[in-house]
Every structure is written in C-alpha cells, then in structure tokens.
Structure 1
C-alpha cells in the first residue's frame, strides 16, 4: 500500500482461508471380493484429502470399509457389481454402498437386542456405523439396495491442529 492511501475496508464475510468445499461426488464399481475394501478406503481417503474436506477421514474410511465388507460377505456374487458412491457437501459427507441383494441389513437403524459376542471376530460393523455416523440407513434400488451413512463437517475450531 502506498503512503497516503486509505486501508481497505474490513470484510464482513469469512476469511479467505475459511472456505467450504464445493459439492462433489464419485461413483465406482467394485469387485465382489475382499480386494474391494482397500480400494473403497483409498477412494474415500483421496476424495476427502483432495478437496480438503472437513469430515473425519479416519471415521469415513472405517465405516466405508465396514459397508463394503458387509456387501461382499453377505451378498451373492453376480452380474451386478457392488458400487460405492461418495458425496461431499459443505455440511458433511455421505457414503453409500449399492449391492444386488434387496434384503435390508439386519437392524442397521435400531440397537441390537443383545450385544455382539466378544469372542467372535465379526458382528460389530453395523454397531460401529450406528455409533460413529451422524445418521445411517438403507433404501431399495432397482437392482438391490443401498446402505449409507453420513458424517458431519467438522467446524474449524474443533479440528485437530
């Protein structure tokens, strides 16, 4: 600024570095095998990082892995692929996994009557999704169902430094 010039007027909006990510979405077909899990995790991780989205990436990866693993384990392999849909919005993210089985997942939106058996290696995926997401559910699709979860955007003052 040259001598004698007035200073710029104060801004009434957020600072330039306080940007909100623009809406974006990805859709990818996954193999009906355990190889789908790391591919899905990588897509979610890269999508959040690339757009500097503020949803909790570790939680998004974990819950995505649970949904994809459930789709691989509990649905028959067939001509219809498992599909991962990731939507990033200023308010948070939503992840959906589409599979060919129209049967709803067991009690995704209501607590289990009995806690999972501590000696079993499985049975905690839906519990994690219910506990760690802001909301979750399922819906029928033309070729089966979609199981989804949402995570909120984390405000700047609550993010780790």
Structure 2
C-alpha cells in the first residue's frame, strides 16, 4: 500500500462501545477526492453497513467536502470517519484559516454550474458545520445510518 493510501490510524473498538474510527491524509491535489471516495467506500463496507444508499450518500458527502478542501483550502487534507452505534461523523480538515461558507448560493447564481456541493451535504447529512482548528479548519458532518450487519 502506498503512503498516500495508508491509514493514519485505525482505532478499532472503543472500550465498552461500538465506536470505530479511521483517518487518512492526502496532498491537496485533484486525485484526493477519488482516493477519499474509494477509501471511504472500502471502510464503510468493512464496518458492515447494510444499506447501499447510506454508503452512496456518505461517499457523496465525503467527495464534496474533500473536493472543496482541494479547491478552497490549503493542504494537506485530512479525512477522519468516526462510527458510534448508527451515528457516523466525518471530518475533513485543511490548513486554510478561511471559514467554510454558510450560505452557498444566492438567487443570482441559480444557473451556476458549481456551488451546489454544500447544499447536497446539508440535504443528506443529519447535521453539518465547520470548526476552526489550529492552523485551519475542520468541516464536519453527521449521518444517521439505517443499520449495520451483525
């Protein structure tokens, strides 16, 4: 496995619970969203998510947020997934201090070909937001899963 695809850390199960976590770091280049999609899909399958629609939705959210970090942030980009019961939290961090936008579209931009990613994230996620961190920010989402296989 090359260094770009190797997990930064797989935490495993937390004592007394069903928590799992994994993190990866990517250079801020155009290959990062594809790598993030593939790694996310593989990890969710390993965590035995049962609903393929859940997997597709989470992969779409990760793709949108990692792509935003590539275009608007400053690298490297860190993707972290945390699963606790049926609640999945995703965190995408970069080193740009510029906050993530809260209003992604104005009425004048209805015909724009881009700018819909955060609207998709907000529509699919149970919750989402942005938190300033050290040298940059973390954009996060929470997604309530349908179920996990035993």
Query: What TM-score range do you get, normalising by the shorter chain?
Result: 0.7 to 0.9
The answer to whether structure 1 residue 94 and structure 2 residue 89 are counterparts is yes
Structure 1, unpaired ranges of 5+: 1-20, 157-161
- Equivalent of 2:48, from 49, 52, 63? 52
- Between the two proteins, the alignment pairs up a number of residues equal to 130
What residue in structure 2 maps to residue 84 of structure 1?
79
Q: Which has the larger radius of gyration?
A: 1
Rounded to whole Å, the distance in 2 between the matches of 1:146 and 1:95 is 10
Residue 58 of structure 1 and its aligned partner are, at CA, apart by: 0.3
SS of corresponding position for 1:121: coil
Rounded to whole Å, the distance in 1 between the matches of 2:108 and 2:99 is 20
Query: TM-score when scaled to structure 1?
Result: 0.73
The answer to whether structure 1 residue 148 and structure 2 residue 136 are counterparts is no
Residue 54 of structure 1 and its aligned partner are, at CA, apart by: 4.7
More helix by share: 2
Rounded to whole Å, the distance in 2 between the matches of 1:76 and 1:143 is 10
Structure 2, unpaired ranges of 5+: 1-16
